[in-house]
Amino acid sequence: MSAKNNIQDHILNTARKDKVELTVYLLNGVPLKGRVTSFDNFTFILEQDGKEGKQQLVYKHAVSTIIPSKTIKLQPDDSKDNREQKETGGE
């Protein structure tokens, strides 16, 4: 899969930039809650809400499911303004 289509990185990066709270379920069923502050190919840092400095290094291979507190769009915004621009050929 090319970097252009990497869903995992897109979700983690969007969650990091927008400070979206995540619930991360590990393979053993343990839930972790927090916000992603950084990530790489194998791990990500989850910072607990309201506990600045309380960070957890989470190995991606130990993750079962990630549930964001709000929807993270996987495609560009298809709002009314964007649709109108596409229909009229505007920029």
Q: Percent helix, strand, coil in the chain (nearest 5)?
A: 30, 35, 35
* Proportion of the chain above pLDDT 70, given as a percent: 74
Report the distance separating Cα 78 and Cα 27, nearest Å: 35
pLDDT band at 84 (very low <50, low <70, confident <90, very high): low
What number is the average pLDDT over the span 64-75?
93
Long-range CB pairs of 39-46, under 8 A, 24+ apart, other chains included:
39/9, 39/12, 39/13, 44/12, 46/22
The residue range of the domain holding 51 is: 3-88
Amino acid present at 5 = N
CATH of the domain at 7: 2.30.30.100
pLDDT at 42 (0 to 100): 97
Number of domains within the chain = 1
pLDDT tens column, 4-21: 668 999 999 999 999 999
pLDDT tens column, 24-34: 999 999 999 99
